[in-house]
Chain A
Amino acid sequence: ADIISTVEFNHSGELLATGDKGGRVVIFQQEQENKSQSHSRGEYNVYSTFQSHEPEFDYLKSLEIEEKINKIRWLPQKNAAQFLLSTNDKTIKLWKISERDKRPEGYNLKEEDGRYRDPTTVTTLRVPVFRPMDLMVEASPRRIFANAHTYHINSISINSDYETYLSADDLRINLWHLEITDRSFNIVDIKPANMEELTEVITAAEFHPNSCNTFVYSSSKGTIRLCDMRASALCDRHSKLFEEPEDPSNRSFFSEIISSISDVKFSHSGRYMMTRDYLSVKIWDLNMENRPVETYQVHEYLRSKLCSLYENDCIFDKFECCWNGSDRQVGFMDIVMTGSYNNFFRMFDRNTKRDITLEASRENNKPRTVLKPRKVCASGKRKKDEISVDSLDFNKKILHTAWHPKENIIAVATTNNLYIFQDKTN
């Protein structure tokens, strides 16, 4: 139940939320920068923990509904409280996280501990005043958006209007208003009339960061469709279809499965989008549909192992990907990051075309030491310090990573642990 299933920074980067398989959400807060400790930025400490979803039972189908948190998305902050959306397979919840550091004292009819005073002992009146108290962080569910998805929700995405959001399951995408829980609009439906004809499912969806009428969704066949909600109420016809023709020299039984897109993320500008399939990360220009502008191989050495990976189900692992910070002045969307096996994660610099493999593990890295680059050796001639493909641990997978929106701080989730790395400062 401690398996981390999603990681997300909020818009300022001050808060980092993780969701786990047990339905819990843990929020970390960055310490305020300490002028005296200029060698490191603030550390992240636990800020709030709450149970977002509980396991449920679908009596109609005699099946459990997992409480695992599939996605968390933060709303931009509008007042003192923070809001986030968290979702499991079936239900989305809007949580309000607020701080309380004062409490009223001096009631007339109650003692401080809450017991009621004997009215006959009240001889004077006073006005209660707020006095400081230990900080308490409270999370309360403000909205519950339920019963709109027959299939498993894989994505939620908040619109740039900050009023609506979409939720996508395997076959449908729904549009919600954040204030309205008893109604949602279906905007994409790819369910065939005859389920036996089903060959493709929706794997991820996201709103465009700037155009509130535009969104994309990816499929298990490696295609991305861009839809415009102004065109029709039901966006079954895409405005653009992004698909790269298959490379015939790489064709195998597993071509379709490894082409299935597990994550799609727009760049901050909205000009580009990034997709992750099993072996690679691709950057697409929204103006060009027939192929990506850049492709980065994450772990090409696995291509010869696909049969084993199919057998042990690893080929169905859904890796996510992320851009580096969105608000930076320099180095705008120039590095992308994604996870791999053996607790490795990879970063690709789009400008220099360099890449690096790092490892998130306690045994191999002491805190506050610089991470050593790793290298996987694909075949025979293994050099010193290289790791051979056959000794990779496929149970240690990094599926979820997140990049601070403003700074070079990254959060990397292994199966049970969360690692936070930062750029070394001088």
Chain B
Amino acid sequence: MLGKGGKRKFDEHEDGLEGKVVSPTDGPSKVSYTLQRQTIFNISLMKLYNHRPLTEPSLQKTVLINNMLRRIQEELKQEGSLRPMFMTASQPADPLSDNFREAQPAFSHLTSQPLLPTDFVSTTPLESCLTPASLLEDDTFCTSPTVQHDGPTKPPPPALQPVKDSFSSALDEIEELCPAPTSAEAVAASTAADDSKDHPSESNIQKPEGLLESRTAESKLMDSLPSNFEITTSTGFLTDLTLDDILFADIDTSMYDFDPCTSATGAASKMAPVSADELLKTLAPYSSQPVTPNQPFKMDLTELDHIMEVLVGS
């Protein structure tokens, strides 16, 4: 029944595949490692949060994705030690917004809608930031996650720093609204690659609204505990980060450097204040698009009002 096929000449082609063991200490490959990790993190989050099936999602899949996220978080923790992370995945425009209304009175004009303003603002930056997985394929690495640094030949991995004074107050505001500890952390992924020269727009179009989204998403998760997902590990992996970590981490003034490409430390990933207006202010200098943020934003507000009416009225 078996053909007399020749032996697979797989060995000849091995260079193309598994030979790509990348040493973690190489400069550019360290970048691609970070980039790939980042992409995987984003993909994982999107998988967890974008999925709204009619039937229960597969528990095995959920557990595996959660484990992936945990592992990446562990790695980042080890590398950066207690630096906060932000979610960069654009949250689903979710019509199940009842929980938003409950949880976020202060942001009612924003969060009670399915995150349209933030989505609008974030889609473009997200696209430019989110490297399609296929692009990373050839750059595959096979390193162990414990990266050994011989010396700081490359700057340390980029980190998100709380910067503005308003940030602390914004956090306090959020704390009041979301008393649950797991929702108090901002979760985001550092998008920066050290060689941000290649993608100037990408590294600094940090999704400042990511924080907003993370708040709402977290509170949504905490409040609704989606009935088809008994596990709360999607928020569980955040429990390690405490607010202290965020507030008392080093303050990086590179936020004030409005030139995204020339930062000596590589990309500066910023954490942005939470209120919508401040969002827009911070976005404007970084956005590579000549868009006046206010107008589309206002347009979306009317849209959102309309949607709100529909949801509440019906």
Q: A interface vs B, CB < 8 Å?
A: 61-66, 89, 151-152, 170-171, 195-201, 203, 220, 248-253, 256-257, 260, 300-301, 303-308, 310-311, 313, 316, 335, 347, 349, 352, 354-356, 373, 375, 377-381, 408, 423
Proximity bits, B107-145, A CB within 8 Å = 1, else 0: 000000000000000000000000001101110111110
Contact between B56 and A307 (Cβ–Cβ < 8 Å)? Answer: no
Contact between A62 and B227 (Cβ–Cβ < 8 Å)? Answer: yes
**A-B interface pairs (CB < 8 A), number:** 142
3 tightest A-B contacts by CB?
A379-B16, A196-B236, A307-B133
Output the least CB separation between B249 and chain A (Å): 25
Contact between B17 and A196 (Cβ–Cβ < 8 Å)? Answer: no
Kindly identify which residue among A195, A253, A381 contacts B68, using a CB–CB cutoff of 8 Å. Answer: A253
Contact between A200 and B54 (Cβ–Cβ < 8 Å)? Answer: no
Contact between A310 and B236 (Cβ–Cβ < 8 Å)? Answer: no
Docked CA distance A152–B231 (Å) = 14
Interface residues contributed by chain B, number (CB under 8 Å)? 53
Residues of B within 8 A of A308 (CB): 133-134, 137
Kindly identify which residue among B67, B137, B236, B239 contacts A307, using a CB–CB cutoff of 8 Å. Answer: B137
- Whether a CB of chain A sits under 8 angstroms from the CB of B2 is yes
Residues of B within 8 A of A310 (CB): 40, 43, 133
Contact between B55 and A196 (Cβ–Cβ < 8 Å)? Answer: no
Output the least CB separation between A60 and chain B (Å): 8
Contact between A356 and B63 (Cβ–Cβ < 8 Å)? Answer: no
Output the least CB separation between B229 and chain A (Å): 10
Docked CA distance A335–B3 (Å) = 13
Q: B interface vs A, CB < 8 Å?
A: 1-3, 5, 7-8, 10, 13, 15-18, 20-21, 36-37, 39-40, 43, 47, 54-56, 58-61, 63-64, 66-68, 70-72, 133-134, 136-138, 140-144, 227-228, 230-233, 236, 239
Docked CA distance A5–B140 (Å) = 33
Residues of B within 8 A of A253 (CB): 36-37, 40, 68, 71-72
Residues of B within 8 A of A354 (CB): 2, 5, 7
Q: Which residue of A lies closest to B59 (CB)?
A: A170
Docked CA distance A191–B12 (Å) = 46
Contact between B136 and A373 (Cβ–Cβ < 8 Å)? Answer: no
> What are 9 A-B residue pairs whose CB atoms fall within 8 Å in the complex?
A201-B59, A252-B140, A252-B142, A256-B67, A256-B71, A300-B10, A304-B17, A308-B137, A408-B1
Docked CA distance A373–B2 (Å) = 9
Contact between B55 and A199 (Cβ–Cβ < 8 Å)? Answer: no
Kindly identify which residue among B20, B37, B59 contacts A151, using a CB–CB cutoff of 8 Å. Answer: B59
Contact between A251 and B137 (Cβ–Cβ < 8 Å)? Answer: no
Docked CA distance A250–B143 (Å) = 8
Q: Which residue of B lies closest to A220 (CB)?
A: B60
Residues of A within 8 A of B37 (CB): 253
Contact between B233 and A196 (Cβ–Cβ < 8 Å)? Answer: yes
Kindly identify which residue among B21, B61, B72 contacts A249, using a CB–CB cutoff of 8 Å. Answer: B21
Docked CA distance A381–B71 (Å) = 37
Docked CA distance A354–B59 (Å) = 37
Output the least CB separation between B230 and chain A (Å): 6
Q: Which residue of B lies closest to A324 (CB)?
A: B1
Q: Which residue of B lies closest to A318 (CB)?
A: B60
Known: A61-B56, A66-B55, A316-B64. A195 touches B18 (CB 8 A): no
Residues of A within 8 A of B231 (CB): 195-196, 198
Contact between A198 and B16 (Cβ–Cβ < 8 Å)? Answer: no
Residues of A within 8 A of B138 (CB): 304
Known: A307-B140, A316-B58, A347-B1. A380 touches B16 (CB 8 A): yes
Contact between B137 and A304 (Cβ–Cβ < 8 Å)? Answer: yes
Docked CA distance A64–B54 (Å) = 6
Output the least CB separation between B70 and chain A (Å): 8
Contact between A379 and B71 (Cβ–Cβ < 8 Å)? Answer: no
Residues of A within 8 A of B68 (CB): 253, 256-257
